[in-house]
Amino acid sequence: MSKELIRLRDLTMEFDGERILDAINLYINDHEFLTLLGPSGCGKTTTLRIIGGFLTPTAGTVTFDGKVINDVPPYQRQINTVFQRYALFPHLNVFDNIAFGLRVAKLPKDEINERVNKMLEIVSLKGYGHRSISALSGGQQQRVAIARALVNQPKVLLLDEPLGALDLRLRKDMQNELKRIQQAMGITFIYVTHDQEEALSMSDTVVVMDKGRIQQIGKPEDIYNEPKNAFVADFIGESNILDGVMLSDFKVKFFGRTFTCVDKGFEPNEPVDVVIRPEDIDIVAPEEGHLVGTVTSVTFKGLNYDIIVEFKGFKWLIQTTDFHGVGSTIGIRLNPEDIHIMHKSEYSGMFGDYSSYSAEYDELTEDAGDEEE
Amino acid sequence: MKKNNSLLLSAPYILFMIVFTLIPLGVVGYYALTDVDTGRFTWENVQNLVLYLPAFWRSILYSLISSLICLLIGYPVAYFIAHRGPVMQKFLYMLVMLPMCMSFLLRTLAWVGLLQDTGIINNLLDSIGLARLPLIRTPAAVILGMVYNYLPYMILPLYAIIVKIDNRLIEAAEDLGCTPAQTFVKVVLPLSMPGILSGMTMVFVPAVSTFYISQKLGSTDVVLIGDIIERFFKQGNNANMGAALSLLLMILVFVCTGIINRFGGTDEEGAVIV
């Protein structure tokens, strides 16, 4: 729909011989909201810092609007950044922080006043101009940081975990706010986060990264519904991942039983990873089920129950709105579209088993928020 | 409970302050306002202070110049050190500290050896056929002595502040369009201000009351206030006049450091004097 603005070609970054980014290829369209999503140390912040001009890649090129900008210093790029933990100037008040870029650009005073005041309104900080930075709450500082970047009307805004330090409620509000601002101003956003929910709800395109490589690029729906490998399936949402064998197109065998699925194009009898989302599983009476298992744990989550069900020694996570007590026997049915088949990858066998449910689940829900260098 | 504890813990220091600072200060005040022979109350010493105003101004001027030179030399050094790797930083920090381990007197005497008419520099000039230069007994020699002796007191607080400036602020400035030079003026320098102020104070205060440097490196007619005070106590046997001079010097130091800190404009951070 829109034209390409930024392209990364074989972007590679090494620190002290350690490969942080491994031949990243990616293009970003004008007006796009693109999110780099991945766990700590996956290379997402490094990618962002290269685009911002704070790091020079070891190999590969960054192209902006058709020109290679590897060696262009940050102050000559039409890109602004919202830094992790904001990096606001402590010696300047709110107004002067936001006006900083405009003053450097030597704009007329009237225009600076007008633009800063308008920006203060956009981020709902009208009347806060003379406050000192240290007198602001985290959420307010956050908005000053966004205003300070946006007031320069950059072509691209880079956001490095901008909501990481905020509490859940505020984070939700700011997510909506950011999306609204992005659409209203028509600026390309490149957003770094480790929060998959944030990525799915805000982005046009999600780039899932791990170990310095792109694991999958796609629309949020595609990433969620068609994960490419066990890492993506596990990182985005919850997944039960099983070993299976693709007998032929639309036929997959696991747990000693053949299921109909909607996937094709695999080798006959190719070993595959089978993904089943916990919310797709229908619970039925034991005699009607494809599989029969025993509930071993129940957790009330508000909207639903998370139950762990054991099938032949393998534990699944199932989300259901009906209560099934520990020890009860239930049957499940799997519709063809609930079964997603993936090629085996280096991640096979590492994820998707809920045998050690509690520990893993805590780890996933806990927004560690730790910073990535 | 907690309050009592903190009082108990600070008691030794409070006692120390009373015995060795407050009481002596009272004694100085008492001496300043009494006659040297009769011991009676008098304003004479205070009135006589006017005679020594030129020496006061000279001391303040020399120390201000020295502080500024120290700042000009010290800032780049501190900035350089703060931007090295951790190992190099430690090494350079130690290098800055090193002269402070040597006796103050010895350091000043070394400059005498270098600068005097038959000193190392002049002998060298002479040996290559050039004329000897009047290096010693000049105001420049006194200021050189001050700069040399007090430079570490400028570098160390500057380094301590500069090393703490968050690198992301520098990146943010560049991100917002600042060239490296603009980043320095608009962000690094304002954020270094507390270091500059405490460095200036740390150099200015000892320099303004110094006596040894001017005696060894200055000419006999360039007398600093420290020299005069020393003379009253050790030779003139007029401790009362010396006390009056000391009091005035103390007041002037307070005023000067106040002015230096006012320059910074940041009231809270200006409080990091000595």
**Is A23 contained in some domain?**
yes
Q: How many angstroms away from the CA of A108 is the closest CA of chain B? A: 16
Residues A213 and A159 in one domain: yes
A9 and A112 in a common domain: yes
User: B173 vs chain A: nearest CA distance in angstroms?
Assistant: 8
The pLDDT tens digits along chain A (373 residues) read 578 999 999 999 999 888 999 999 999 999 999 999 999 889 999 999 999 999 999 999 999 998 999 999 999 999 999 998 889 999 999 999 999 999 999 999 999 999 999 999 888 889 999 999 999 988 899 889 999 999 999 999 999 998 887 888 888 888 888 898 898 888 999 999 999 989 999 999 999 999 999 999 999 999 998 899 889 998 888 888 888 999 888 889 888 888 988 888 888 889 999 999 999 988 888 888 888 889 988 989 888 899 999 887 788 899 998 888 888 899 988 889 889 999 888 888 788 777 665 444 444 444 444 444 3
CATH number of the domain within which B138 lies: 1.10.3720.10
Query: Any chain B CB within 8 A of the CB of A85?
Result: yes
Both A167 and A72 in one domain: the answer is yes
- The count of structural domains within chain A is 2
Is B187 within the bounds of a domain? yes
Residue B119 has pLDDT above 70, yes or no: yes
The confidence score (pLDDT) of residue B2 equals: 57
Residue B186 lies in a domain: yes
Residue in B172, B176, B191 nearest the CB of A152: B176
Asked if residue B141 is part of any domain, the answer here is yes
CB contact under 8 A, A75 and B171: no
Please judge whether A75 and B191 are an interchain contact, meaning their C-beta atoms are less than 8 angstroms apart. Answer: no
A370 part of a folded domain: no
Residue B1 located in a structural domain:
no
Residues A256, A185 within the same domain: no
* A263 and A159 inside one domain: no
| A207 and A331 within one domain | no
ipTM confidence score: 0.80
Asked which of B32-46, B76-90, B179-193 is least confident by mean pLDDT, the reply is B32-46
Is residue A20 in a domain?
yes
- Residue B11 belongs to some domain of the structure: no
- Smallest Cβ distance to B177: which of A88, A91, A105? A105
CATH classification at residue A90 = 3.40.50.300
Same domain membership, residue A154 and residue A31: yes
Q: Is B265 at the interface with chain A, CB within 8 A?
A: no
Would you say the pTM of this structure is higher than 0.90?
Answer: no
Amino acid identity for residue A231 in this structure: F
A87, B176: Cβ pair inside 8 Å? no
Same domain, A275 and A159: no
Lowest mean pLDDT among B125-134, B146-155, B178-187: B125-134
- In-domain check, residue B10: no
Question: Does the residue B12 lie in any domain?
Answer: no
Is residue A253 domain-shared with residue A165, that is, in the same domain?
Answer: no
Which structural domain, as residue segments, surrounds residue B87? 52-271
Q: Is residue A372 part of a domain?
A: no
Chain A contact for B37 (CB, 8 A cutoff) = no
Within 159-188 of A, beta carbons closer than 8 Å to B belong to none
Verify whether the Cβ–Cβ distance B186 to A104 is below 8 Å. yes
Give A239 to chain B, closest Cα distance, Å.
38
Separation in Å, CA of B89 to nearest CA in chain A: 20
Question: Which of A223, A254, A284 corresponds to the end of one domain?
Answer: A223
Query: How many CA atoms lie less than 13 Å away from A349 in the CB half-sphere?
Result: 4
Q: Is B168 on the interface with A (CB under 8 A)?
A: yes
In a domain, A209, yes or no: yes
Other beta carbons less than 10 A from residue B149's beta carbon: 23
Supply the range of the domain harboring residue A267: 239-365
In a domain, B45, yes or no: no
A63 and A193 in a single domain? The answer is: yes
Q: How many domains does chain B have?
A: 1
The candidate with the shortest Cα–Cα distance to B221, out of B141, B164, B149, B139, is B139
Considering the domain architecture, whether residues A215 and A247 belong to the same structural domain is answered as no
Asked if residue A262 and residue A176 are part of one domain, the reply reads no
Residues of A in contact with B172 (CB under 8 A): 81, 83, 87-89
